Amino acid sequence: MLRVKNKYKDKINIKIGFEIDYLPEHTQWTRQFLNEYGKYCDTGLLSVHFLEGMDGWRCIDYQAEDTSEGLVSYYGDSEKFQAAYYEMIKESITVDLGIYKPKRIGHMTLCNKFKKYIGIGSSEMINEKINELLILLKNQQFILDYNTAGLFKPYCGETYPFDDIVQKAIKMNIPFMYGSDAHGVEAVGRGYEVFQSNINY
């Protein structure tokens, strides 16, 4: 990437970065990784994709059936599943991962990816968890990923985070950075017009 960045420096500004998964049992490894490669990075994401669930750690965004059976059932209901996810994000913000720890939280509401399948809704408890998380993000000077991938997921249909959270964060002056979460060329830049219409910087 450094070679490509230098080769095309007169044509395009290429930024290098990693999406770092917060894995509570592997913080030492993550810290060592960042200490080795962080100095080469211009940007980065800190994300949560895994929660402890049925038979061990489970990926929350793999398949709707798997999330329902392996995580929602494990926690008892969708509200407790969401609460566990937001607590894990809070933990990721406060954990010491060294000086190169990313300061941008990826897809803050990824637990909603299968909301229409699982039946995820809002509640007073979840709203309180989200508000606590936003206050922590503000105090720790983190920024949020405005991730449009959820718009194109059949069981989701909304950005990560969704509009209510976006408006709260804007009022708190928490910055956003656009992300298409592209896993292929065809997804690069998708939903950017949504970001432009909702975030006025």
Instruction: Tell me the per-residue pLDDT of 51-83, one tens digit each, with 9 for 90 and over.
Output: 999 999 999 999 999 999 999 999 999 999 999
What tokens does 73 get? 């059932």
In a domain, 164, yes or no: yes
Q: What is the pTM of this model?
A: 0.95
Angle at 105 between CA 101 and CA 108, to 5 degrees: 155
Domain that holds residue 68: 17-191
**pLDDT for 3:** 96
**pLDDT for 22:** 98
**pLDDT for 201:** 57
Of 92, 171, 167, 102, nearest in space to 136 by CA: 92
In a domain, 8, yes or no: no
Which amino acid would we find at residue 176? F
Decide: 140 and 93 in contact? Cβ < 8 Å: yes
Would the pLDDT of 130 be above 80?
yes
Q: How many domains are contained in the chain?
A: 1
| Maximum C-alpha span of the chain | 55
In a domain, 158, yes or no: yes
Of 134, 133, 127, 162, nearest in space to 146 by CA: 162
What tokens does 56 get? 């061990």
